[in-house]
Chains A and B, each alone.
Chain A
Amino acid sequence: MTAMVIDNLHKRYVDRYTGEEIVAIGDVSFSVHEGEFVSILGPSGCGKTTVLNIVAGFIEKTRGTVTVGGTEVTAPGPDRGVVFQSHALFPWKTVLGNVTFGLRMKGMDKARREQAGRDVLELVGLSGFERKYPHELSGGMQQRLGVARVLVNEPAVMLMDEPFASIDAQTRRKLQQDLTALFELRRPTVFFVTHDIEEAVFLSDRVVVLSGRPSTVRDIVEVPLPRPRNWHAAVESTDFRTTVTRIESLLSGEEAHVGDGS
């Protein structure tokens, strides 16, 4: 089943002060299957966040269609959970209050939502922190909460915009590893934005490689790595290296000549 379809998406911004027009997205089409992990990769400023924000319903598109679960996207909704680079946790709510927010909006009763909240906190390794406030957590833990808060709602698709970009390199590796394990366990549908090639390859089933602005899809690369995945095995596998190299050459605009992966 297809979870999400993006068809001939086009986005033009008009600068509020200069009135200048910027075509951020030229023409982008791809789809994500249910239970699939798809990354979108491209140079900074090529419109990745714009694509995600349109899917989330935060901003309007200029042309094209976006459908999630068979219905066209017009506004934000709980079928599309978003994990932000800035975490965007509610500072005035405890960890438990943050993680149960979506369930409360759905009208689930307190006992059930708190149980569900505790379960998902356990899953992301935040058990025991229920009563803490977000500012009392480290950056890595904050983003674990950001993931848990979305996961617990079981959205049709999880949207993640460079969720680990502001986290130190070592913790980032650990978070990527844990996200992979989580994905392999629960099989949510994930649409992931990043500019980090290795991250995209390690996490994804497929990687949508964008050109520079105005962006178009350069290619969609299948990642041939078996699951479960871990960093140690990945960096030593030739499949990992060739996929990374292939995407590097796609991004630098050359044709791939080193072992055409897909």
Chain B
Amino acid sequence: MRIAARVFAHPVVRTLGPFVPVVLLWWLIARSGIVNESFFAGPGVVWSEFIDLVRKGILPSYLSDSVTRLAYGVGFGLLLGIPLGFLVGLNRWARRLTWPVLIFFQAIADIAWLPIVIVWFGFSLTAVTFVIVYTIVFPLTLGVVAGVDQVPDELVRAARSMGASRFRVFLEVIVPGSLPAVASGIRTGLGYGWRALIAAEIIVGTSGIGFMMFDARRVGDVAEVFLGMIILGILWYALDALVLAPFEQATVERWGMVRQVETTR
């Protein structure tokens, strides 16, 4: 029993273990022939497709295109959404003036913007970036506002009665105090941004993972479509495991401000 526990505690087993039954099921379905082969590619076929696309250099270049676009979108999204959130969260007038507008624009789905964005910017990086920034800004802004609201009054009062100026209160209390909600706003925003990227690439794209998948569909290459889906999952998982989760572990979890979430490492 103890050996089993040790094996399951190993990071590699803990990370990949849960996928074993998924892959097994996938393989079984493909193998059984319930589904026509031209609609459903098995693990083996997808793997050789992967090797092939890497060798031709298509996959690395598409992947870096997608990641670059996401990085641009996310970068501008954070730069815009976080200050906007604090402004709306802290200033009564800013909140009154912008709240209805925020709710209104939040309701227009990202891809609903694509037609007009293509008219404005053509099939370009700007168009894709615009859509991603748009998708990220609203959940992020609303997340920051929620974060500001959830900072207990007494913490602000405590800081004020220990001589903190309003600006120091912002830096020392509001910013860290809102971090749990800000972190989950970033998580939600990134998730939406990620989806928007793929949607944008499918419609706008001339390269990228989303484009690859849709292009493969056109020529009926099911294995490539499957491969694209798997890469999407792996990328998000890597982002979560390497960036988001460690950040949350080092901050809000360490401080006991949120319940410990399942660690990915």
Contact = CB atoms under 8 A, between A and B. Distances in A.
Interface of A: 56-58, 75-78, 80-82, 84, 86, 88-92, 101-102, 105-106, 133-136, 149-150, 153
Nearest to A97: B172
Given A82-B157, A89-B158, A91-B256, 11 more contacts: A56-B161, A58-B157, A77-B161, A82-B161, A86-B152, A86-B154, A88-B157, A91-B257, A105-B165, A135-B255, A150-B162
Contacts of A153: 162-163
Given A58-B157, A105-B168, A133-B256, A92 B176 contact: yes
A88 B162 contact: no
B179 interface: yes
Contacts of A76: 157, 160-161
Nearest to A86: B154
Contacts of B176: 90, 92
* Contact size range, B: 20 to 34
B151 to A, nearest CB: 11
A158 to B, nearest CB: 10
Contacts of B172: 90, 101
Given A56-B157, A88-B158, A90-B176, A105 B256 contact: no
Contacts of B256: 91, 133-136
B10 interface: no
A80 B157 CA distance: 11
Q: Which of B158, B179, B255 has the most CB of A within 10 A?
A: B158
B173 interface: yes
Contact of B161 (A78, A89, A92, A134): A78
B162 A149 contact: yes
Q: Which of A89, A90, A92, A102 has the most CB of B within 10 A?
A: A92
A77 B251 CA distance: 29
A81 B177 CA distance: 21
B255 A78 contact: no
Interface in B129-174: 152, 154-155, 157-165, 168, 172-173
